[in-house]
Amino acid sequence: MKVVDHIKKSKSTLFSIEILPPLKGKSIQSIYNLIDPLQDFKPSFVDVTYHREEYFYKKREGGFLEKISIRKRPGTVGICAAIMNKYHIDTVPHIICGGFTKEETESALIDLQFLGIDNVLVLRGDAVKNERSFVPEPGGNAYALDLVKQVVNMNKGTYLYEDDMVEVTPTDFCIGVAGYPEKHFEAPNMTADLRYLKMKVDAGAQYVVTQMFYDNQKYFDFVKKCREMEINIPIIPGLKVLTTKSQTAVLPKTFYLDIPQDLMEAVEKCKNDTEAKEVGIEWTIKQAKELIKFGAPVLHFYTMGSSDSVKRVASKVF
């Protein structure tokens, strides 16, 4: 079932999660161990992130450097298929611009359609670690907007290359995109960022999932501004439970977000990570209850490889 259909059919706030593919060498059981404890809360869908390849340079004879590609995690498509087969839960694979040509993107979408996966979250993706800014793949999509348009074209039955000998079947993907209550770090200002989001919605995006945030007012203001710009699709808040003291420094640097002063002071008083985790859980419980009262369509939890804290929050609000 499509994400938007889950939302339409529900009379209350839904529960969903996002998981990371495990590092290479680990089995699918590591994913099951993460999802199993959350089954009591009946997640409506599970997002599976995509992590593009990384590179390093190996010195060769004569002083030449050879660029070596490394893939650290298994494929998102296979993980989505395994989750659907075991749990009969809808999955949402992340589709990114970085590292893919348009032809490779089309092939991935054809595979997803074949597997019965009808949701995608469309993202530009991050720059490779050794690049200062995002560089699109030659022959690939440069922006999430371009990727949205490619998926929409396939939904209309328009593929990259026409083949008169093959009857083309239109895809039927529900398209999600990202939103940033505290502005995407590359956008010059919030107004410009919202214009970019509006362009994706006008192109065919059907729902928004936000970057994590710790101040609900940021989400409330974001929704208000979106509605003022006639962005009227569902806006799903993304939540991440703070679980260690160091995350008050790491998360703002990595995800370009603010930590509210009250939360910061509470964590600073903690003697260790165990105490900090308790503070983080209580903070997210309050966030979740307030978001449900506000009428958020779904609470989407970023698990970051661990479900214990998410389970504790969910047990208090669902």
Closest by CA position to 318, among listed 10, 82, 55: 10
Mean pLDDT, range 161-173, rounded to an integer: 81
**Residue 196 pLDDT greater than 80, yes or no:** yes
What's the mean pLDDT in 137-144? 91
Close Cβ partners of 195 (under 8 Å, ≥ 6 residues apart): 229
Reported as a single tens digit per residue, the pLDDT across 270-313 is: 999 999 999 999 999 999 999 999 999 999 999 998 999 999 99
CB count, 10 Å around CB of 178? 19
Contact 106, 150 (CB under 8 A): yes
> pLDDT at position 195, please?
97
pLDDT value at 35 more than 90: yes
Encoded tokens for 257: 């977000």
Please state, in angstroms and rounded to a whole number, the distance separating the CA atoms of residues 295 and 290: 9
Buried/exposed 20-37: b ≥16 CB within 10 Å, e otherwise:
bbbeeeeeeeebeebbee
pLDDT for 131 equals: 72
The pLDDT of 85-89, averaged and rounded, is: 96
Mean pLDDT (whole number) for 39-47: 97
Q: What is the pLDDT of residues 96-117, one digit of tens each?
A: 998 889 999 999 999 999 999 9
**Number of Cβ atoms within 10 Å of the Cβ of 64:** 9
Please check whether residue 267 is in contact with residue 279, taking contact to mean a CB–CB distance below 8 angstroms.
yes
253-262, pLDDT tens digit by residue?
Answer: 999 999 999 9
Rounded to the nearest 10 degrees, how much is the dihedral formed by the CA atoms of 29, 33, 39, 45?
-60
Mean pLDDT of the chain: 91
Instruction: Please report how the helices 261-268 and 247-255 are oriented relative to each other, as an axis angle in degrees rounded to 10.
Output: 140
- Would you state the pLDDT for residue 52? 60
Structural domains for the chain: 3-240 (3.20.20.220)
Q: How confident is the model at residue 58 (pLDDT cuts 50, 70, 90)?
A: low
Q: What is the pLDDT of residues 177-190, one digit of tens each?
A: 999 999 999 999 99
Give the three-state DSSP class for 147. helix
Percent of the chain with pLDDT over 70: 91
CA 216, chain centre distance (Å): 19
- Mean pLDDT for the stretch of residues 195-220: 98
Residue 25 has pLDDT above 60, yes or no: yes
Contact 55, 68 (CB under 8 A): yes
Residue type at 214 in one-letter notation: Y
Confidence of residue 70 (pLDDT cuts 50, 70, 90): low
- Are residues 53 and 80 in contact, defined by beta-carbon separation less than 8 angstroms? no
Residue 131: is it exposed, middle or buried by C-beta count within 10 angstroms (0-12/13-18/19+)? exposed
* Higher pLDDT, residue 189 or 52: 189
- Whether the pLDDT of residue 164 is over 70: the answer is no
- pLDDT of 72 above 70: no
Q: Dihedral of the CA atoms 9, 10, 11, 14 (nearest 10)? A: -160
User: How high is the pLDDT of residue 56?
Assistant: 47
In this predicted structure, the answer to whether residue 78 has a pLDDT above a threshold of 80 is: yes
Task: Give the pLDDT of residue 107.
Answer: 94
Return the H-helix or E-strand segment holding 208: strand 207-212
User: Is pLDDT above 80 for 61?
Assistant: no
Contact 222, 181 (CB under 8 A): yes
